[in-house]
Amino acid sequence: MAAILLAGGAGYIGSHTAVELLNAGYAVIVADNYANSSPEAIRRVEEITGKQVKLYEADIRDDKKLLEIFRENQIDAVIHFAGLKAVGESVAKPVMYYRNNIDTTLSLLEAMQETGVKNIIFSSSATVYGEENSVPYTEEMKRGVCTNPYGWTKAMTEQIFEDAAKADPSLSVVLLRYFNPIGAHPSGRIGEDPRGIPNNLMPYVTQVAVGKRECLTIFGHDYPTKDGTCTRDYIHVVDLAKGHVKAVDYVLRHNGTEIFNLGTGTPYSVKEIVESFERVNAIKLNHVYGNRRLGDLAEFYANADKAERLLGWKTEKTLDDMCRDAWNWQKQNPDGYRKSN
Ligand code: NAD
Ligand code: UFG
């Protein structure tokens, strides 16, 4: 049974990936400093799967501790989720973002070098396509000019991995460019648990629905899109997690660097999200139209053909599934993991 280290694995995408890896028969080791998560998520991963996770509280930048983790375990592959991800915060605190997101990468690569681990998957983002590329995005497009420090950390980290794999031909790197993950595990036991006011659309929607926020503001209704609101490639987090299982199978059998978009290939508008959420959950969502948000692109979505061709992966869940599961998680856990139930 191959063992996979999930750096930052207690977070939103990491916890869902842990479930799918355990279900697929992998052993899972998680290292997280809980900067944006809670060990409760991993307890619930164990509850959902009936399997154990080896859990370390650790800052990935702590080289000594990281090396201990690598030496204590026979690690076959690493998935690097450990990063700060709030776009606005990255503009206000760029040094903190570069320090965290780049140093976690360098520490992981050094620990891998030291212990002979050759396989790594990185959580990149569609944001690296920048503003220049036209939709749908395909993997061979050049990385664009990013609009914020968070985006630059993703672009720079991709470059670091490409250089490392060029220098060491036995290294195997998979760069996964996520589009817009939303939704939650259908059990409602794990989901997205943002701290403070959510930056992203779906957690804002669910917090309005549960009565924690007054009203959703839809940012802009005069975009050149099908209904005037922005469109995105929303992807169910369970589909995304399953994409990681396929990426693990792939990274273990190849060398060099490969990039994959993980998206559905189908854009939906903010208005369509609100309509689907209201319909499938039989809820009225208080919302108003407001000004555009600075830095938002009108639309972007994936060409997801490469992942289907080389990984044998494609998404299965619908927008209605995403909206149903997001609400199921929020209503069962109005305060996220803070109030265990
Ligand atoms: P998340 O914040 O829920 O998970 C990230 C995890 O990393 C958290 O558990 C956090 O505590 C941990 N972490 C951060 N810095 C760390 C450090 N120095 N040492 C140890 N642990 C650390 O976010 P997520 O949505 O699960 O995202 C996972 C990854 O995917 C991130 O790198 C993010 O940038 C990337 N990504 C996310 C999205 C999205 O919309 N959610 C989109 C594209 C890319
Ligand atoms: N939106 C609203 N109201 C809100 C929040 C969001 O109308 O309260 C709209 C945004 O304007 C956008 C859409 O909902 O049109 C999605 O916004 P999100 O903030 O959820 O997601 P983004 O597409 O802006 O950002 C995501 C990730 C970033 C990543 C970026 C580019 O969250 O990490 O995609 O890949 F950098």
Contacts of 198 (CB under 8 A, 6+ apart): 204, 207
* Strand 268-269 versus strand 234-236 pairing type: unpaired
Tell me if residue 223 is catalytic: no
Specify the DSSP element, H or E, that contains 176: strand 172-178
Residue whose C-alpha is closest to residue 156's, from 90, 92, 200? 90
Ligand nearest to the CA of 262: 1
**Given ligand 1 and candidates 13, 87, 137, which is best to mutate, with the most ligand atoms within 8 Å of its CB?**
13
- Cα separation values, 109 from 14, 201, 319, 327, Å: 19, 33, 37, 38
Residue whose C-alpha is closest to residue 158's, from 135, 181, 134, 129? 129
Angle of helix 12-23 relative to helix 237-251, nearest 10 degrees?
A: 60
Tell me how far the alpha carbon of residue 231 lies from the centroid of ligand 2, in angstroms. 9
**What torsion, rounded to 10 degrees, do the Cα atoms 315, 318, 324, 325 define?**
0
Instruction: Identify the sign of the CA torsion 26, 173, 42, 30.
Output: positive
Q: Which of 137, 150, 204, 337 is catalytic?
A: 150
Tell me how far the alpha carbon of residue 229 lies from the centroid of ligand 2, in angstroms. 12
Q: Which atom of ligand 2 is nearest to the CA of 126?
A: 35
Is 134 in a helix, a strand, or coil? Answer: coil
Ligand nearest to the CA of 290: 2
Is 220 in a helix, a strand, or coil? Answer: coil
pLDDT value at residue 341: 45
Ligand nearest to the CA of 232: 2
The neighbouring-strand residues paired with 236 are 182
pTM, whole model, 2 decimals?
A: 0.98
Residue whose C-alpha is closest to residue 4's, from 20, 39, 28, 25? 28
- One DSSP character per residue, 4-36 reads EEEETTTSHHHHHHHHHHHHTT-EEEEEE--TT
CB of 236 closer than 8 Å to CB of 195: no
* Strand 119-125 versus strand 299-300 pairing type: unpaired
CA-based angle 87:231:174, to the nearest 5? 60
Going residue by residue through the chain (341 aa), what tens digit of pLDDT does each one get? 899 999 999 999 999 999 999 999 999 999 999 999 999 999 999 999 999 999 999 999 999 999 999 999 999 999 999 999 999 999 999 999 999 999 999 999 999 999 999 999 999 999 999 999 999 999 999 999 999 999 999 999 999 999 999 999 999 999 999 999 999 999 999 999 999 999 999 999 999 999 999 999 999 999 999 999 999 999 999 999 999 999 999 999 999 999 999 999 999 999 999 999 999 999 999 999 999 999 999 999 999 999 999 999 999 999 999 999 999 999 999 999 986 44
CB of 249 closer than 8 Å to CB of 313: no
Q: Is 213 in the pocket of ligand 2 (CB under 6 A)?
A: no
Specify the DSSP element, H or E, that contains 90: helix 87-92
Protein residues whose CB sits closer than 6 Å to any atom of ligand 1: 8, 10-14, 32-37, 59-61, 81-85, 100, 104, 123, 125, 178, 180-181
Tell me how far the alpha carbon of residue 295 lies from the centroid of ligand 2, in angstroms. 10
Residue nearest to atom 33 of ligand 2 (CA): 85
User: Whose structure tokens read 């503001």?
Assistant: 217
pLDDT value at residue 339: 67
Contacts of 167 (CB under 8 A, 6+ apart): none
- Count how many residues are written for the chain: 341
CB of 229 closer than 8 Å to CB of 269: yes
The neighbouring-strand residues paired with 22 are none
Separation between Cα atoms, residue 97 and residue 150, nearest integer Å: 7
- 59: number of Cβ within 10 Å: 18
User: Whose structure tokens read 């509280």?
Assistant: 57
CB of 183 closer than 8 Å to CB of 280: no
